[in-house]
Homo-oligomer: A and B are copies of this chain.
Amino acid sequence: MKYAILPLFLFVVACGQGSHEQADGPTLEPEQVVADPLPSWNDGTTKEAVLEFVKRTTADGSADFIPVADRIAVFDNDGCLWSEAPMPPQLDFAMYDVKRRAEADPKLAKDPMVQAAISGDLRTLWAGEHHDGLMKILAITHSGMTVDSFNLRVREWMKQYQHPKGGAGLAGATFQPMLEVLDVLRAHGYKTFVVSGGGIDFMRVFSEELYGIPPDQVIGSSAAAEFEMKDGKPVLTKTMKDFFNDDKEGKPAGIQRHIGKRPVFCGGNSDGDQAMLEYTTIDNPLPSFGMIVHHTDSVRETAYDSKAPVSGTLITAKEAAPERGWVLVDMAKDWRVVFVE
């Protein structure tokens, strides 16, 4: 609007007969209405803590100012950005995909663990210290194919995914309040990363459209892809070699492997995120913020902490939260809305 001042001024002066109506007519600098950056959060100490940290670490002249290059924010995925109850969506994908494979492969269909997956028998898959059944299903569905064909299978599954308490598709399993936290951080120069025990290639298929996080800012459990020129064309094949478990102490290791910088903002929800929360907030020369999503809402999602549905046990990290200054998000109390609508 600033340019508009000049013409009116010139008009008045040049003709020596300007009317105040014209000169004062349009409001040249209307007061802006500032929208709530976290509309799905109920007002309270949790919401205030997030906004206060973002403000004091990004406001010019603030004593806690963090340079843009150091504004690294990391978030767990299952139970933090989206629901892991009744089961992590990646497990739903594995069971969906192994069923399709078994229909085309009678020999595979005879495998007891494949049968357990098809019948939804999680207890059998989860049994044993190393969850051998589950690992076998994950190996069948996450290795031995090209990266491209894996991505296509994930997209196929996405089309029909439906969270029991959310809307259609993956968005229906995604926590709207956390998307708003990602947005407010990015709007203030933070670079946002997913740091999850989930499969890196699995999450990368939808991270950009679901979270606004590009594939290169997704960190997860992974295994080696092997490159070869096949019939004159480049091919990347997924294997289970060099498996990296991006959980617990693996999370700070994964952050070092992929980011190479210490985060200043960390969101998690389980004991699997404790090491990453400690790495972010303890003895950090820069101001830091840790948050734990506490699943307290049995109506809109699922209430759990010490007894998690499949993954997401929260005991020690919750105990450490007060001393560490980690903000506990009370889903039932702090979130006006739970899922993306």
A-side residues, CB < 8 A to B, are 3-4, 6-8, 10-11, 14-15, 69, 147, 191, 193, 200-201, 204, 208, 214-218, 222, 224-229, 232-234, 236, 242, 244, 249-253, 256-261, 275, 278-279, 282-283
Shortest Cβ distance from residue A143 to the other chain B in the assembled complex, whole angstroms: 13
Main secondary structure of the interface of A (DSSP, over half): helix
Whether B249 pairs with A227 at a CB distance below 8 angstroms is yes
Q: How many copies altogether?
A: 2
Residues of B within 8 A of A260 (CB): 200-201, 204, 215-216, 218
Shortest Cβ distance from residue A215 to the other chain B in the assembled complex, whole angstroms: 3
Shortest Cβ distance from residue A223 to the other chain B in the assembled complex, whole angstroms: 9
Count chain B CB atoms within 10 A of each CB in A3, A216, A217 and give the residue with the most. A216
Asked, given contacts A191-B216, A253-B227, A260-B215, whether A233 binds B282 with beta carbons under 8 Å apart, the answer is yes
Alpha-carbon distance between A208 and B249 when the two chains are bound, in angstroms: 27
Alpha-carbon distance between A224 and B258 when the two chains are bound, in angstroms: 11
Q: Residue A234 contacts which of B200, B252, B261 (CB distance < 8 angstroms)?
A: B252
Residues of B within 8 A of A216 (CB): 191, 193, 216-217, 258-261
Shortest Cβ distance from residue A288 to the other chain B in the assembled complex, whole angstroms: 11
A243, closest chain B residue (CB): B242
Shortest Cβ distance from residue A12 to the other chain B in the assembled complex, whole angstroms: 10
